[in-house]
Amino acid sequence: MRKILIVDDDQKTRTLLKAYLEKNQYEVRLSHNGESFQAEFNRHVDELSLVILDVMLPDTDGFALCKLVRRRSNVPIIMLTASSDETDRVVGLELGADDYIGKPYSPRELLARIKAIHRRTGMENAANRFYRFAGFTLDTRERTVTDSQGQLVQLTGLDFQLLRYFVERPGDILDRNALCEETRGRDAGPLDRALDVQISRLRLRLNDAGKQPLLIKTVRGAGYVFSAEVSASHA
């Protein structure tokens, strides 16, 4: 599992990010100031896939920590800044940061930036290959799904893409726009029923097409949620 170290002095933000990223299959370590960050960094430096640095901290700043990290590691760095001044962003990038995000930001935006960096650095290839749920196994490398008997489940490319999106986010309520954007590259229109048809077809393939589906549940007025227990692994 990819390990991320986050330093931010706001406890609410730290807690929110930890919960959100762990749901998306990341291991998260937290620090609240420069001193605790250095201790965590020294302890896990060889295991980290990403570092997220808040610029404003009570005992130092993110720039100093960025320099510290770069003296010892090439691990990717994302800077968080509340300043609208372009100078902060330029300084961070010149010190070796890979990306920056202005506050306020959404966890979804941060996740997208994390995934983009991991893709660029090859870390996405080290992500979990297998997702197992309700007797099924999804193989991200072979792009296949097998049932408990080892038989292939016949899925279209879009079906597989949708199912992978679900199993990577178990328990998250996913709105229609996010699901449509993931599978078809655009938001859902008010009369667009293609997503509902696709989900119905996916439920049928997973033997989950009864009146009360157990795997992909509808959340009225909000979207859908993948409610099965999911385990992920490299092998």
Q: Is 130-233 in the same CATH topology as 2-125?
A: no
- Read off the pLDDT of each residue in 217-223 and give the average, rounded to a whole number: 90
Tokens standing for 222?
Answer: 């909000």
Is the peptide bond prior to 76 cis by the omega test (within 30 degrees of 0)? no
Q: Which of 181-190, 205-214, 221-230 has the lowest mean pLDDT?
A: 181-190
* 2 exposure class (CB count in 10 Å sphere: 0-12, 13-18, 19+): buried
Q: Is the pLDDT of residue 124 over 60?
A: no
Mean per-residue pLDDT over the chain, rounded: 86
Q: Which of 17-31, 50-64, 104-118, 178-192 has the lowest mean pLDDT?
A: 178-192
- In this predicted model, what pLDDT tens digit does every residue of 89-118 receive, in sequence order? 778 778 888 888 888 888 888 998 888 888
* Residue 158 or 55, more confident: 55
pTM score, whole prediction: 0.55
Helix (H, G, I), strand (E, B) or coil at 76: coil
Buried b / exposed e across 136-160, counting CB within 10 Å, b at 16+? bbbebeeeebbeeeeeebebeeebb
pLDDT at residue 122, rounded to an integer: 61
Q: Residue 186 — pLDDT band, cuts 50, 70, 90?
A: very low
30, β-bridge pairs: 6
- Percent of the chain, pLDDT > 90? 48
Going across the sheet that includes 77-81, the strands are 26-31, 2-7, 48-54, 77-81, 99-102
* Residue 119 or 145, more confident: 145
What DSSP string runs through 109-170? Answer: HHHHHHHHHHHHHTGGGGS--EEEETTEEEETTTTEEE-TTSPBP---HHHHHHHHHHHTST
Tokens standing for 209?
Answer: 């097409």
Q: Which CATH superfamily is domain 2-125 in?
A: Response regulator (3.40.50.2300)
Give the architecture (CATH level 2) of 130-233. Orthogonal Bundle (1.10)
Domain boundaries, the chain: 2-125, 130-233
Q: Is the pLDDT of residue 11 over 60?
A: yes
Contacts of 5 (CB under 8 A, 6+ apart): 28, 29, 30, 31, 37, 40, 41, 44, 48, 50, 51, 52
Q: How many CB atoms lie within 10 A of CB 39?
A: 11
pLDDT at residue 52, rounded to an integer: 96
- In this predicted model, what pLDDT tens digit does every residue of 35-54 receive, in sequence order? 999 999 999 998 898 999 99
- Residue pair 103/110 in contact (Cβ under 8 Å)? The answer is no
- Residue pair 61/91 in contact (Cβ under 8 Å)? The answer is no
pLDDT at residue 1, rounded to an integer: 58
